[in-house]
Chains A and B, each alone.
Chain A
Amino acid sequence: MAGMELLSDQGFRTDGRKPNELRRIRFKKGVFKQADGSAYLEQGNTKVLAAVYGPHEIRGGKGKALHDQLLINCQYSMATFSTQDRKRRPRGDRKSLEMTAHLKQTFNAVILTELYPKVQLDIYVEVLQSDGGNYCASVNAATLALIDAGIPMKDYVIACSGSYIRDTPVVDINNLEESSAGAEIIMAILPRCEQIVFIEMNSRLHEDHLSPVMDQVMTGCKDIFNILNQQVRDELCKKSAQDRIVDSG
């Protein structure tokens, strides 16, 4: 990376963003008919599909059933063409299994699991293109898919990443910044009550810098929440207006 600064003297990042600027977020709910809920989400060049099935009777090994709450089954996989080098295994490697466990943990905290004892909910997440922030995009897409499926949740769960480059906290880091910058902080929060449901840090960060980065990531999460929430509301509003036209003949 000779001659390439992750944060230029003018305060711009390699892809031209400001330190506190998010990548463009676009999404679509209900992309699959067969699934009970689904969503496609783009955060910059990271593209993710999520599908939710259920709640339905426990499949495969009845012993897994929880007698007082819903069993959440997650599967995270990355398409073989999602990264620079073609991947050998789309799922089942150590990284995907870890991600699966993290997603399961995150959604266990936010879905009202006690409403559905002894049944199972499947959340499938597929990364189509990876450009950093895979966990974040997966969580955000799965949240939208859950809303689409009508699964009762405490709140949206929104995830965002952040880092510390040249004494500045930066938010929503891409693949280049992820691989060459120092620490990476990933947080999943409930945006309205500001509860942290998941936090992870890779590599080392000075203690003094932790709280500014966390604050910046928290702000990023809330920005993402506002974008998602606005569009979800607008879509339902549009849909109900259309329904009203149909009803009135």
Chain B
Amino acid sequence: MATSRICVPGQRLNRADDKHIGGKGTYSRNGFIYSSVLGYWEERPTNDNTEILISVHTGETQTVIPSIDDIVTARVTNVNPRFCKCEILSVGTTPLCDVYRGLVRKEDVRATEKDRVEMYRCFRPGDIIIARVLSLGDAQSYILGTAENELGVAIGMSEAGVSMVPVSWCKMQCPKTLNEEFRKVAKVRPEYIQTVHQG
């Protein structure tokens, strides 16, 4: 029955006991789970099958904002010796409807030999990078970090304006001019590429 599956904000969905937990589009108050958006009821057992996750999904994609520990995709806009600025394009696999400003500081670029990092040998404007949100930062922008093997430049633009092929963890080669340029290259996980392509 379609009507029974429709939820409106403030509608009581279930008791919030040890069997049921609220997911997306819900909140709990006084021991009950309530819907917080207009959408459809969804019930799914959790991974370990001990609890039932109740969520309300709307037809459209939920508005997401970057939060701490999220993996984000960003485009580099500005590089200087201390940090590089970028605009965050998507969180995980969900594209953002509005760009958010991010910042990668010099000391967050890689995990080892932090003091020998040179920003110009890691990022260039136009690169697409994968990074982790370290903190929500000061009032200005989100602080991002790439100090992991899987994080760094995913798509690097060469001086000739072509996207480059990675040759090592710190170098990329331009297929047009065969010039090698320095980058903090990300070891992109295959499943990540898959989800991005599907999305």
In the complex, the answer to whether B9 meets A57 with C-beta atoms within 8 Å is no
A154 touches B29 (CB 8 A): yes
User: Would you call B38 and A152 a contact (CB within 8 A)?
Assistant: no
User: Is A119 a contact partner of B58 (Cβ separation < 8 A)?
Assistant: no
Residues of A in contact (CB 8 Å), total 36
| A100: min CB distance to chain B, Å | 23
A163 to B40, CA, bound (A): 39
- The docked-state distance in angstroms from the alpha carbon of A36 to that of B40 is 19
Taken together as a complex, chains A and B put the C-alpha atoms of A134 and B187 apart, in Å, by: 58
Q: Does A65 contact B (CB under 8 A)?
A: yes
Q: Is A63 an interface residue (CB 8 A)?
A: yes
Residues of A213-249 contacting chain B, CB below 8 A: 229, 232-233, 236-237, 239-241, 243
A117 to B133 alpha-carbon distance, docked (Å): 14
Q: Is the CB of B25 within 8 A of A152?
A: yes
- In this assembly, does A192 line the interface, its C-beta being within 8 Å of a C-beta of chain B? yes
Chain B residues touching A, majority SS: loop
Residue of B6, B97, B99 with most chain A CB atoms under a 10 A cut-off: B6
Contact (Cβ within 8 A) B2 A237: yes
The CA-CA distance from A118 to B135 in the complex, in Å, is 12
A62 engages B98 (CB within 8 Å): no
Let me know if A135 is at the binding interface, CB within 8 A: no
Q: Is the CB of B8 within 8 A of A232?
A: yes
Contacting residues, chain A, for B97 (C-beta < 8 A) = 36, 56
How many residues of chain B have a CB within 8 Å of chain A?
A: 32
B29 contacts A119, CB within 8 Å?
no
User: Which stretch (B60-68, B70-78, B144-152, B174-182) binds chain A?
Assistant: B60-68
Contacting residues of chain B (29-76) with chain A, CB-CB under 8 angstroms? 29, 34, 36-40, 58-60, 62-63, 65, 67
Complex Cα distance A57/B25, Å? 21
A62–B101 Cα distance when bound, in Å, is 12
Task: Name A233's contact: one of B8, B27, B98 (CB within 8 Å).
Answer: B8
> Is B6 a contact partner of A233 (Cβ separation < 8 A)?
yes
Interface membership of A67, Cβ < 8 A: yes
A116 at the interface (CB under 8 A from B): yes
Beta-carbon nearest neighbor of B139 in chain A:
A62
Shortest CB-to-CB span from B58 to chain A, Å, is 5
Residue interface mask A111-124, B partner, CB < 8 A = 1:
01000111100000
Complex interface: chain B residues within 8 A of A243 (CB)? 59
Q: Which of A54, A116, A192, A236 touches B10 (beta carbons < 8 Å)?
A: A192
Residues of A within 8 A of B27 (CB): 112, 152, 154
Docked pose: A151 CA to B6 CA in angstroms: 16
Q: Are B139 and A150 in contact (CB under 8 A)?
A: no
